[in-house]
Amino acid sequence: MLQPELLVKSEKLNSFITFVHTTIAKPSNSETLVSRLTDPFTSMLFEDFIPTLMTQTIPNTFAQYLLYRSFSPELSLMAMIVPSGIATPIHDHMAWGLVGVYQGEQKESVYS
């Protein structure tokens, strides 16, 4: 059987991933999941766990780095590097999720 893979080695990240798997294994709706995961996720963002290479801006390029992948569809963790002035098109991920800012700022517009 294929095992999940933690691509960035960090005790804080590993603890968060374990907590997420335990949390999502319990039956609940997306609002409850987001509520339960927000504080641990926010706490993790204050830790220095992303390798420097994965935090460097590439001019005019939106870069994505996979930090963790689970072979079940409910969990992946990405680091996305978006240079100032770069925008993404309006989109919907069609799933629940958390977005955090590790460095810098993000401006987001929410549409209904």
| Structure confidence by residue, pLDDT tens digits, 55-88 | 888 888 889 988 888 877 778 888 888 888 888 8
94 Ramachandran zone, left/alpha/beta (phi>0; psi -120 to 50): left
52 band by pLDDT with thresholds 50, 70 and 90: confident
Rounded to two decimals, the pTM is: 0.78
pLDDT at 8 > cutoff 80 = no
For Cα atoms 60, 63, 67, give the angle at the middle one, nearest 5 degrees: 165
In DSSP notation, 24-76 reads HTS---HHHHHHHHHHHHHHHHTS--S-GGGG--BTTB-EEEEEEE-SSTT-E
Report the 10 Å Cβ neighbour count for 112.
2
- Select, from the ranges 36-45, 51-60, 80-89, the one with the highest average predicted confidence (pLDDT): 36-45
